[in-house]
A and B are shown apart, each in its own frame.
Chain A
């Protein structure tokens, strides 16, 4: 048994010491305390082996469930050996794995394979489009080591939303580049991120401040208010004045105090006028070449759409299209007449970034994505403090904010885990990506080209595919029933309905029972068309069914598998007596864990 266990650890490229073999040794008929320990010390709570090692492993696994999109056994061991804080610090230094270069390589490789096999009648290979962004996202997220950065970037992509549920679906390179901006600033300063996002051509297209002209009184044309509104409502300050703990301030009459009104939006709209493309796209250059024309110097105007604009170069200011005059931001800040338009934008972003709301507003959103749906006011307040000052006098340091969120006692301590309001529904994409990351995969070419659209169809979620700028789910969504009665929020439940909940289960069925973890659309790459989970090492240990369950408990439910669910799984596994059926048994065990609330609810 000991040898078998060492074998599986070896598979996950982990050098276990012999103590590890205690894992799962206890056939104890379900007597198991379902808690993690406080991360500072590992109490001897573990009734299975009494060594405390499992408790450490569970705590590490729990941290990774909050701090990553998916992880392997080796990462659990990294966290264990480094300790949580050191692991986080190391993650901040991990070089970013950007998507664009990977996207370009994948596109070329897929195109080559297509061209090598295509007949004269076949259409040209299409793209790069959203599909190639999806390939790059999966290729990266199943192989990277900058796990925390990618988790934060995913969270940011659900705050600073653009979506391929628009013409952006045609621009794989634009989507990848936008995601890279999020990755680049995930541990940087929020103000830099805000600026770069505001000037990104994909955002300019999505919220229509690309080619937004100044006022034309004669023709009744006013500046577009779209970005002006959402940059305030969704990206920085929200609708109401907030205290540092995230609660809404009230005026003398007891009413909430709006952060802005429509006049403020009109003023802000003037700021975001005059932005046009930074360079011509390849398609536009080809067009000019066909027509034997020189590209124009200025490209501003509604006839120059996103197709003509290079999607990987920031927007440029065309001052003659920028609204002149003084602008008054949020009633009290004056932006003077006669500045360069880009300076107007800098000033406006500076004003928004320094608004008192940003700390609690952004802090709560990030806590909701990483740790829990209903953070206590005290938790938000602690994060606001870090946002306002990282300890070195810097405001907006996202690395400091992320670290503070994950190190907070509310994220870490065992006591909070018992709190009735603690926890969150894991996002479908995170549930699924963790499954894919955690298991070895059968992909001879090493290509993890998940098309993504299939998962989106079943669950209504996939990165950069939100239906609107309001994300897949909103921070104050209240599911029917007890949440609404107790005035609690459950954002992720917005996409948990009778259709998507079953869609998720059916994708897990496909990915486990039916061996199709995911598939690409590249018919010419048969080797990696379908990627399957490689379960042989789990099958090897499954002679000891309790060991199998314990193994899965650590990886997926960080030791939280309830006695009830454990018993249900145990009873199901008991039916598999012939070792030839163990592979099915393992598949069923994973399937049941993945659909159980023990896994889908992160505590």
Chain B
């Protein structure tokens, strides 16, 4: 046993990696040369999906509310001390409202404007499902249900895996990358760029997100490639350590992440240095959501230099688990989100990429309609929105439930069985992104329970 290991290690130790580094630098040079030679940099076929996770479970029945009449009175009674005043809400008029007036949270001023401009679409009562479900099905246990309903750790995973009957490590963004990653001419940079480190959404069988710092950007190894005596010795030693063959699972995984990071950084950082500023001011906030959208914008601006045609971005906005202080907290957090989205969308317009970039919101779950004093607890179906030039905005898709504790999808206490499955929401985004309809089941194993792959239409129709 010991001897075998010894021999194995000894044989691997001879492998250096300076050859690998030079290959990499050559590749980089080749890319740079081809960009310099091409006159038309405008790429007609670029698409990006920006996922923003409101982590902790957004109380989304205080994001999108009935504003007038009987529906508002029901809302007011049910939500008790947490009900927003009708006159404080930002009024919106959905194209297909069935006579109902809706309001947005007072902090969402730019979202309201973009809704009016038909860049924002809301989806009502969306959540994780394995198959279409009613409260009767739920109580009779006649359908397969998502694991760990109402639990953060499970639900936040399910929104990212789209495989809620299992605890899978693979995310649907990562699976998309595994499937159509070859759409990117540059294969040495991950399709998934994360502002928040490792995440399930962008984890594929092979795909791994490239994590950058929202403020500092991509991180390089300090002193690496330094052109002095010490720097050269260090660089060679680092390359040699990264270049060894590791048979051990843990060692290999540890090293692969660093290696991937080192390689990507060289290209990425160079590209970021070349992008022009668009002059649009981004807000800063304690959650770094403004900073994150700014960094996403920079990365998108570099897509031509990096020769990338498809990208996914992941931003996790923490702090939505409002068992306590839900009113004050949402006011501040929606405001941060609203301002960040405003700047980001302006940048996309400025870059001429408005129609190529779609931003979409996810969250663990909605929260109970009833109060626990000054907060709310975990629920299930909730409201989300998508933003971008490709969005058929100005409308609410899906049936917005009655906030009366008597809605026919209410399990009690204002916990709604979702009317729209997260799969439908995501499959539409995936189709738009370029995944062939027939391949959808590879990414969304339950999609056939909700959508006819041969329909020739989007599942929900909120995208063009």
Contacts and interface: CB of A to CB of B under 8 A. Distances in A.
Interface stretch (B3-11, B92-100, B349-357, B421-429): B3-11
B5 A34 contact: yes
Contacts of A598: 251
B372 A502 contact: no
Given A490-B250, A565-B241, A495 B230 contact: no
Interface in A462-511: 467-470, 474, 476-486, 488, 490, 493-503, 505-506, 509-510
Contacts of A575: 229, 233
B237 A499 contact: no
Interface string A556-582: 000000111101110110011000000
B182 interface: no
A425 B321 contact: no
B2 A233 contact: no
Interface stretch (B33-41, B103-111, B217-225): B217-225
Contacts, number: 250
Contacts of A484: 169-170, 205
A601 B321 contact: no
B126 interface: no
B209 A497 contact: yes
Interface stretch (B150-158, B271-279, B338-346): B150-158
B416 to A, nearest CB: 14
Contact of B250 (A423, A468, A571, A596): A423
B73 to A, nearest CB: 14
B151 A229 contact: yes
B373 A221 contact: yes
Contacts of A225: 323, 372, 377-378
A526 interface: no
A167 B56 CA distance: 16
Given A33-B6, A564-B9, A502 B219 contact: yes
A63 interface: no
Contacts of B80: 219-221
A30 B241 CA distance: 16
Residue of A477, A488, A571, A597 with most chain B CB atoms under a 10 A cut-off: A597
Interface stretch (A12-20, A122-130, A208-216, A349-357): A208-216
A467 B79 CA distance: 29
B203 interface: yes
Residue of B9, B207, B321 with most chain A CB atoms under a 10 A cut-off: B9
B125 interface: no
Nearest to B377: A225
Interface in A215-229: 219-226, 229
Contacts of A554: none
Contacts of B204: 480
A208 B261 contact: no
Contacts of B206: 480-481
B372 A568 contact: no
A494 B254 CA distance: 11
Contacts of B318: 165, 467-468
Nearest to A587: B230
A334 interface: no
- Chain A, interface size category, equals 35 or more
A595 interface: yes
A603 B246 CA distance: 14
A596 B212 CA distance: 22
B221 A421 contact: no
A339 interface: no
B371 interface: yes
A460 B258 CA distance: 16
A424 interface: yes
Interface in A183-239: 207-208, 211-213, 219-226, 229, 233, 239
Nearest to B15: A564
A490 B2 contact: no
Contact of A35 (B2, B222, B264): B2
A477 B153 CA distance: 11
Residue of B169, B203, B255, B405 with most chain A CB atoms under a 10 A cut-off: B169
A378 to B, nearest CB: 20
Interface in B178-223: 194, 197-198, 203-213, 218-223
Contact of B212 (A496, A499, A565): A499
A33 B9 CA distance: 11
A21 interface: no
B413 interface: yes
A480 B197 contact: no
B276 to A, nearest CB: 25
A562 B9 contact: yes
A420 B210 CA distance: 27
A222 B413 contact: yes
B89 to A, nearest CB: 20
A513 interface: yes
Interface in B347-389: 368-375, 377-378
Contact of A222 (B10, B229, B255, B377): B377
A592 B197 contact: no
A211 B203 contact: no
B377 A592 contact: no
Given A481-B256, A565-B244, A498 B1 contact: no
Contacts of A565: 13, 241, 244
Given A33-B2, A220-B371, A499 B249 contact: no
Contacts of B258: 498, 501-502, 505, 595
A595 B241 contact: yes
B405 to A, nearest CB: 8
Contacts of A226: 321, 323, 377
B77 interface: yes
Interface string B20-31: 000000000000
B241 A212 contact: no
Contacts of A307: none
B280 interface: no
A597 B258 CA distance: 11
B117 interface: no
A221 B81 contact: yes
A135 B459 CA distance: 55
B169 to A, nearest CB: 4
Given A220-B78, A502-B221, A588-B233, A233 B151 contact: yes
A41 interface: no
B174 interface: yes
Contacts of B213: 499
Contacts of B194: 497
A467 B12 CA distance: 39
Interface string B240-265: 11001010111111111110111011
13 contacts: A226-B323, A425-B250, A476-B167, A480-B203, A484-B170, A493-B253, A496-B198, A498-B209, A498-B258, A506-B219, A564-B10, A565-B241, A569-B237
Given A220-B79, A221-B81, A223-B372, 20 more contacts: A30-B10, A207-B323, A219-B80, A221-B371, A222-B372, A229-B150, A421-B249, A468-B152, A480-B204, A493-B253, A498-B212, A502-B219, A505-B222, A509-B221, A563-B9, A563-B10, A568-B244, A576-B233, A598-B251, A601-B250
